Amino acid sequence: MRRRPYIFIAVGVLLIAAAVFAISALAQGSNGERASAAPIFTLESLDGTNVSLGDYKGSVVLVNFWATWCPPCQKEIPALEAAYRANKDKGFVILGVDVGESRQAVEAYAASKNITYPVLLDEEDQWMSRYGAMGLPMSVIIDREGRILQKHMGELTQDELTSLLEEYIITP
């Protein structure tokens, strides 16, 4: 029985499709999303200075969207603070973006929790949705080139933070 040429064409098409799929998978972050440029924001910090995400190019940045009234946000702050203190000299930055609250409420809360990483105010709630957050807390890992590597919805545990640090900080 003679094979028909369309079998070879079909196999060729399947091979090309598999190659395209493999290349596409390599271009995606660890959570399946494509590594895309992080939207650059400039927000006022608790000390009154304007802080831009663009100022941190060359560092790995964890942007943490949170609020003082959010129990999971409250629970993850000690782990975030410990990770920041232990790794800030290794090119790691945490930007805590408080969503929709007044400066007074955030200042009092941050002082009571001894937060040393930069806390930024998004009183108008402009940025959370631009990063695709559907709730609080949400953390976004941004690489040294300013690309989103991973998004994490919900509380970050100490183990999850350690894993992220090992993946993105210790072996950048």
Does the pLDDT value for residue 171 go beyond 80?
Answer: no
pLDDT (0 to 100) of residue 3? 55
pLDDT band at 9 (very low <50, low <70, confident <90, very high): low
pLDDT (0 to 100) of residue 111? 98
Tokens for 163?
């894993």
Does the pLDDT value for residue 17 go beyond 60?
Answer: no
CA–CA distance, 121 with 106 (Å, rounded to integer): 8
Domain ranges of the chain: 33-170
Of 146, 163, 83, 141, nearest to 115 (Cα)?
83
Where does the chain have alpha helices with state H? 5-26, 71-87, 103-112, 158-165
Count Cβ atoms below 10 Å from residue 26 Cβ, excluding itself: 7
Q: Please, what is the average pLDDT of the chain?
A: 84
pLDDT by residue (tens digit) across 107-134?
999 999 999 999 999 999 999 999 988 8
- Asked if 2 contacts 9 with a C-beta cutoff of 8 angstroms, the reply is no
Tokens for 52?
């831009």
Phi-psi category of 46—alpha, beta or left, where left has phi over 0 and alpha has psi -120 to 50? alpha
pLDDT by residue (tens digit) across 36-62?
999 999 999 999 999 999 999 999 999
Does the pLDDT value for residue 168 go beyond 90?
Answer: no
pLDDT band at 34 (very low <50, low <70, confident <90, very high): low
Q: Give me the torsion for CA of 152, 153, 158, 159, rounded to 10°.
A: -60
pLDDT (0 to 100) of residue 15? 38
pLDDT (0 to 100) of residue 13? 42
Rounded to an integer, the average pLDDT of 124-149 is 94
CATH of domain 33-170: 3.40.30.10
